[in-house]
Amino acid sequence: MPHLVLEYSGNARDRVDPAVLFAELHPVLARAGGFRLQDFKSRAVRMDRFFIGDGTREQSFVNLDVRTFAGKAPDTRAAITRAALDVLTRAFPATLRETACDISVQITELDRPSFARTRSGDDGDGHRAA
């Protein structure tokens, strides 16, 4: 944890390389949120089918969902969102300039008891094989 899910409208002017963007985001968010760098799992999705507002003018969006376990203090969550917003604002300057764009960051807190996973090397019951 955390999982980063970046969604952005297909009319974004900037051609962002997700690997480059996440290489910048990961250490910034690790510092802001006390995350371990190796725990980030990130993906970017360009949304070519979208509709914003009443559709009468060109509008765009960039949204980053930071999914992490519940329990971070409010000031830590605020630091995470501010840090991410700063990076995203620098990554999408033409989109901000040339379209009516909203860039947003949200934190989705996951309930630890309802989260399950398995990893390479697990024995199938969520335990590491010896």
- Looking at residue 26, its pLDDT comes to 98
Q: Is the pTM for the entire model greater than 0.95?
A: no
Residue whose entry in the numeric block shows the structure tokens 């999705």: 45
How far apart are alpha carbons 23 and 82 in whole angstroms?
Answer: 17
Assess contact for 58 and 9: CB atoms under 8 A.
no
Show the DSSP H helices in the chain as ranges: 18-33, 74-91, 93-98
Dist CA 110 CA 97 (whole Å): 35
Q: Per residue of the chain (130 residues), what is the pLDDT tens digit?
A: 899 999 999 999 999 999 999 999 999 999 999 999 999 999 999 999 999 999 888 999 999 999 999 999 999 999 999 999 999 999 999 999 999 999 999 999 998 877 877 888 777 665 554 4
Give backbone dihedrals phi and psi of 28, rounded to 5 degrees, phi first: -65, -45
